[in-house]
Chains A and B, each alone.
Chain A
Amino acid sequence: MDTAVFVTMLVTLIVVAAIVFTLPSLMPRTVPLGVNVPAARIEEPVIRASLRRFRLLVGASGLVAVILLVVLVFIAPLAAALVSMLLFIAGSTVAYIVARQGIVRAKHEGDWYSGATVRLAGDVTAEPVRTPIPVGWFAVSMLLLGLVTVIGAAVYPTLPASIPVHWSASGVADRYEPKSVWAVFGQLIIIAIVVIGLFALSFVGRVVSIRALPSASAEQNAARERGIRSVMSSLLGWMMFAITLGLCWLTLVSWFLPSDRVLITVGVVVLLVMLFGGIVVFIVRWRRAARRGAAITGGDTGADAPDDDRFWKAGIFYVNRDDPAIMVPRRFGAGWTMNLGHPVGIAIGVVLLMVVVGALVLAFTAGTSR
């Protein structure tokens, strides 16, 4: 087990734990842990206590996962990474379920919504807000790919007869293939597919409906909607660029200096920093956009959004047959989720599930075959 790989796994675990730990403070205060509460109740002690319990349990499972990773890493590195991450996911799921249950119970027992004025808000003259498409990032990524392809074509005759196509976890080339178009350009083709996939994904934003807040003005609601949409597009754009830059670098290294471990490590580290950095910036910007307008909910002024907990199974899965929206913003976490009460939403859910299961099966078979 290489130190660099161990550090990467450790950093990944810590970054993920930190993100989950801070998630509750990203949401508007009227949906603590995905539970709808009226603005007049956001200071309830039970909410604070539940959030504290969530953070405590997430922190504890993060700590246990890190210890497990450190202990197991010298015995079974692959199992260490897998077990510690799974343990953290299980731990934070329990934390979420246990902590939010406290708020749900207090809300029902105290009948928090009786007496609250609830309204649905909408703009009858609004032009539909278009989700921006990250065309610029896509163009830059494609340009970079084109450039590297041209370089590859130029040096193709001078490349050795045997090309490294796989590296061990520690950055040493461990599998070679005879020189062919696929062996040389295969990775670029895969990058292109990923980038085009992300670009296509950004169009999903077009079918997302974003609720207007009754406590905010039409201008604030429009600004909030534009903000949320552009933050999501920026994330996808940045991901395209980061993946292209990082993997093009690794491709160039594999052509010219395939045995230079330093250059490979630099490429991997830069790629991870760009991906994690992009996610952190995204979360900070999402928080600002999602809380815009929601922040002015003072309690006595303005109405509350109606209690729609019944549409949010466990605060995570949205099921509303009446809602024409195919996708909506998540209530706990950042980004979009599908409406499982809509036929197209169900179809998207099934495809996502198949992709996740497929990826897991692939990862598992790849892991055991080695």
Chain B
Amino acid sequence: MQIEIDPASEIPLYQQLRDRVVEGIAAGRLRSGDKLAPVRTLAGQFGINVATVVKGYDLLRVEGLARSNRTAGSVIARGPLGDRADGVSSVESRWDAAARAGWIARLRTVLAEGVAQGESDGDLENIARDILSTFAAERKGS
């Protein structure tokens, strides 16, 4: 899966790398068990510091979205509902409660931004639904 990162952005490159991978998982372009490119290979393709890629991969690992595999390097560890290779059924048993609480806090901020800018609750719900259905459509397509 090819991704693009913006060297001129204020968002750090490792964060962009992590974000693109998370979106790739949501859209089904990356599946549980998929191997991630070796850090040196990816850093070489971007022409960026190896440490930046390591940091991005570490973030994914801490979040449980990737894991280290002795033979294959880093592999994607989780996937959307219905694409579970790990056989775990409930989100709670996989997703660390504190991490999930952190995500809800971030989502809260993002939603607050929309509300503060004057978006209606209905519009915000529609936008969220649109984004989710794009992911679902891409998952079905891939």
- Give me the interface of A with B, judged by CB distance under 8 Å: 118-128, 209-212, 214, 217-218, 221, 303, 306, 308, 320, 322-325
- B interface residues with partner A (beta carbon < 8 Å): 1-8, 17, 20-21, 24, 30, 34-38, 40-50
- Asked whether A122 lies within 8 Å of B46 as measured between CB atoms, the reply is yes
**Chain B at the A interface: SS class:** mixed
A120 x B41 contact (CB < 8 A): no
Q: A118-B6, A119-B4, A127-B37 are in contact. List 13 more A-B contacts (CB 8 A).
A: A119-B5, A120-B6, A120-B47, A123-B45, A124-B17, A124-B20, A124-B36, A124-B37, A125-B30, A125-B35, A126-B45, A128-B38, A209-B45
* A123 touching B4, Cβ below 8 Å: no
B7 touches A118 (CB 8 A): yes
Distance of A84 from chain B, by nearest CB (Å): 40
List of A residues within 8 angstroms of B6 by Cβ: 118-120
Nearest first, the 7 A-B pairs at minimum CB distance are A209-B44, A218-B2, A122-B45, A119-B4, A322-B49, A120-B46, A128-B41
Cα–Cα distance between A119 and B17 once the two chains are bound (Å): 12
Which one of A121, A306, A308 contacts B3 once the chains associate, using CB atoms below 8 Å?
Answer: A121
In the complex, which residues of chain A have a beta carbon less than 8 angstroms from the beta carbon of B45?
Answer: 121-123, 126, 209-212
Q: Are B36 and A325 in contact (CB under 8 A)?
A: no
Q: Which of B2, B43, B47 contacts A123 (CB 8 A)?
A: B2
Closest chain-A Cβ to B59's Cβ sits at a distance in Å of 13
B40 touches A124 (CB 8 A): no
Q: Which of B6, B17, B35, B46 has the most CB of A within 10 A?
A: B46
Chain A, residue nearest B16 (CB): A120
* In-complex Cβ contact of B4 among A128, A214, A308 (8 A): A214
Q: Is there contact, CB below 8 Å, between A218 and B8?
A: no
B37 contacts A322, C-beta separation under 8 Å: no
* Interchain CA distance A218-B45 in the complex, whole Å: 12
Q: Is the CB of A323 within 8 A of B7?
A: no
B residues in contact with A209, CB < 8 Å: 44-45, 47
Min C-beta distance of B18 to chain A, whole Å: 11
List, in ascending order, chain B residues with CB within 8 A of A217's CB.
2
Q: How far is the CA of A303 from the CA of B9 in the complex (A)?
A: 14
Taking a contact as CB atoms closer than 8 A, the residue among A118, A124, A308 that contacts B47 in the complex is A308
Can you list 30 A-B pairs, Cβ within 8 angstroms, ordered by A?
A118-B8, A119-B4, A119-B5, A120-B5, A120-B7, A121-B2, A121-B3, A122-B3, A123-B2, A124-B2, A124-B21, A125-B1, A125-B30, A125-B34, A126-B41, A126-B42, A128-B37, A209-B44, A209-B47, A210-B45, A211-B45, A211-B47, A212-B2, A218-B2, A306-B7, A320-B47, A322-B47, A323-B47, A323-B48, A324-B40
A154→B114 CA distance, assembly (Å): 90
Q: Which residues of B contact A211 (CB under 8 A)?
A: 45-47
Contact (Cβ within 8 A) B44 A124: no
B8 touches A125 (CB 8 A): no
Closest to B43 in A: A324
